[in-house]
Structure 1
Amino acid sequence: MNSIKTIIVDDESRIRRRLERLVQACGEEWEIINLFSDGKEAFDEITSQSISFDLLITDVQMPEMDGLTLISELKKTHSFTSIIISGYDDFTYLQTAMREGAVNYILKPVDKHKFTEQLEEVKVKIFAKRMEQQKWSEIHGKAQQLIYTKQIQLLSEITWNDAMDLSVIDWTKQFPDGIYQLLYVSVDQNISAVENLASTQNWDLKMEEIFKQISQEAAREMNYWMWRSGKLQYWILICFSDTNHVKVNQLVEQYKADIQKLTPFTISIGVANHFQEIKLLPIVKDQLLTLLQYRMIHGGNKVYHQNMLVDLTVNSQPKNVSSIIYKQVHQILSSLDGKGEVETLSAVHQLFKELESISSPTIIEDAVHYLCLQIFNKWMEIDGFGENAEMLSNVLKVTKKAGNFTQLKDSIKHWVVDIKRKVDSRRKIDSDPVLRAKKWINENLGNHITIKEIAEHIYMSPTYFSNYFKAQTGETILDYITKCRLEKAKELLETTDTKVYDISSKLGYQDTKYFSRLFKQWYGQSPSQYREYHFKRD
């Protein structure tokens, strides 16, 4: 067990040394860490050096600061036990000493046997206090672990569930306020080769161990959560009080270096921009999945930052793309602006006519990926990164799934036409996006509503729309939807006899208890109580 750290304060050196010998004679568990000749000297040294101790043995009468004042002042910043040594048998001193928390009040000259008995009592109390603190610490640790486990379960569910209705966005309260940054980590090696290797060694656990060890070293300055996305793929969510880019960048580089050094793999890491509203996590997740698709052109073992996206796309012509294919891709891009679908289809047909004469599947795949990336970049110029982020990742998988060249051609043709129509619709829109969003929300109160769905309807990126809506209206999109749904609930409670659980379901709340709790938070009454006071009878 740890020693009992003791400080002795007395202005008489002879008594000070004798107290030191008496304490040391009581056993190895006692440790004298400091001796002081005055209360002021002791106070200054203890507070300036942040000295931690268990027991203070102090004289009462000292020149600059007496013992009772010393105890009183130190109690403001330290937790400790104290023993008063005094040459005065004065009841007032005793009362004050006990009020300041002194364990005992010992008169000079100090009797060796009585002093030893007092120290034994002190030891029992200090050890008992330590045991209690340890138990509370263990309980607190278990509680924190339960909270963390619940948060990880929520994060895992959210990243697997692409379309979370805003009516159940209550999960955001489980996370602290702060500035967030999401990382997506993926092994570069072919999964089938990895599976063969993983059959003999559990590299998944090894990589988690590496991430945890590095993250825990930085955990003093930031909160973090880590969970799996799939085989040898991971999400890491970081929350900090200030935007310390350097520390996050250092963390990312250390992940990459240690994985390459300690495992047979290399990894690529997608790093999202900062965001403050945790409910944007599903959108940011889609952005990172799309961002890491650039490995197909720029290679692995790299860190891809979201703000690098424009540079990546501009410089994304792979070496296998010939000048003819390059020209035909840009003809398709040109047809997206101000021309009809016929011209776009014709340009796609010309590209695939050229590709049909190529015998290398790799060159065909590179050409299709180049086309998809360039079209996606065109859409970003119009609407910003994040709108339908999965549209790129999905189409890039087409080359793997297509059974033959005709299937590949048809899939790409349909995708390009769909983008063409999105571009045309976006160009025609000139009305207020907030009014259009509100109109759509009020028409769909009983349906599944996500930020992504609203943003798609008004042709904005989800992240930009969320920020724009709040800037224009002064309220979050979640608050607006909740307000509209609950206002509609009030109307139904006032004018119909529809059961509460039916109203809840009709307005998109499948959990009636959650609906009732939310209603009471907003209006101070449960739905049943509200109906009782406000129902309008004919």
Structure 2
Amino acid sequence: MAPYKLLLVDDFFVERENVKEMVGESDLDLVITGEADDGLEALEAIEVQRPDFVLTDIEMPLMDGLELAERIRLQYPDIHVIFFTFYEKFEYARRAVQLGAASFILKPIFKEELLAELNSIIAKKRKESEAAEREMRLKERLRESLPLLADKFKRELFSGACRHWNEERIRDSLSFYSLPFPEGSYLIMGVEIDRPHSETAEAPDAREMRTLRLGELVASSIADCPSLWSGYGDERWIVLLAFSRETTPEMGLEEGFRRAEKLIASMEAENVAVSVVIGEPFGRLAQTDEAVGQAIRALSHKFYRGYGQMIRACDIEERSVGPEAGWPVNLREQMLRVLNEGDAEEVERFVGRLFAQADRHSPAEIRGVCFAAIAYCGQWLGERRVDPFAGRGDASISWESLVRAGTLQETREWLTDFLTSVLRLIGSDSGGPGGIAEGAKAYIQQHYQEAITIKKISDHLHYSPNYLNQVFKQETGETLLEYMTKVRVEKAKALLTDTDRKVLDITTAVGYNHETYFRNVFKHYTGVTPKEYREKSKR
């Protein structure tokens, strides 16, 4: 780094030579680059040499040191002025302070004092230079970062960080980030790609390029009107439109719909389908985040309305969720019963009933029911030793295809397709109808002592009572009730023959509550009463 430069101003030649000698013999980071006899000559030298310091006498002809210092302060504020004079007058010292003098030295000058003062001033100058360089670097970084900072401010405005700011502060920020915006009314548009989930993995550079390209389409659709926009992830954008004070709310909405149509057409030209929400006009920029929140909530309603929609935010009703909107409490039992009956048309009817009031639920709740269907079916098929994903390739396909279902209709179709595919797996189960009958027999053999009913058996096996009874009779030639009665009577016969238990005890042991009824059933099947049967068996 080059040494600092000093201009020496004094009408006494001897004084100038004395100072030059002192400075020249020192190790100060300083060189004397010029001399002047008075203030006027000094100004001419300053214009050429641009020194860092001016060491000047006060009493000089033509222009004294005080006037010279005033001119330097106005024209060259970075130059430090040092006074040295024979006159120890308070007025001189006061004026020197007013003029921002770096130092005030009395003559005669002593070498140690002069060098100490100059060294102190050089150190001060060096710190100021370093600070100025840091400030310059920071300003340059700020200038380079302004686009990013402007985008950050837009996201803050949209997210609510400016909610409690007054309008003046928000407008000052807009001006600082070079985001001119008229005063008047405002309107939010929400834009979202309808099918954000790619079928195949997308390389990071391709994804970023696609996001930039689509962002440019959003920007071009609003380029000819005062607006701000910001991306929310790769698939969603928020646009803030501004209108003059003369624009009525109706005119603002009309313009919003016109912009939405233009944007949808631009995206379609890129083979990209989008849905657009048009919010309600509002009057204060501090209300922006409320309008953004309304738009984002409204975008979720494309799940019910379908793709490629223009949705007005105020037309959206909040979904009523909770028990009153309820899904069937016994959803699992109903679902597996339908599948066990093996009727594809019944599957469609079941899904139709299930989705009849699905629009009262949030998309997350509806998908949750579908995810539960995957779990229920997987567990049930596993119990039957059937591979839940046989023939379906990767087991994650069902989950991924459900996530890609972006509308209520697509989700309904997904559930129908999934349950139908499970139905085919059940149909291919080696157990078939014979397996159903054997399952019913096994249950009766294990529970004949209890108060079992056909409904209990059908619930356990996940069939409707009528279907189960029909299949059982086809396979065995008897109804469930006939088989259950036969089992109980055979168990009772064994107890009558092998034990001395009372008939009343045997009645309850084989699942009957009333002895009289048991005696009637036993006699109907054997032709004799329980007592007569015991007596005959002992002969």
Q: TM-score, normalised by structure 2?
A: 0.33
When Rg is computed on C-alpha atoms for both structures, the one with the higher figure is 2
TM-score (ref. length: structure 1):
0.33
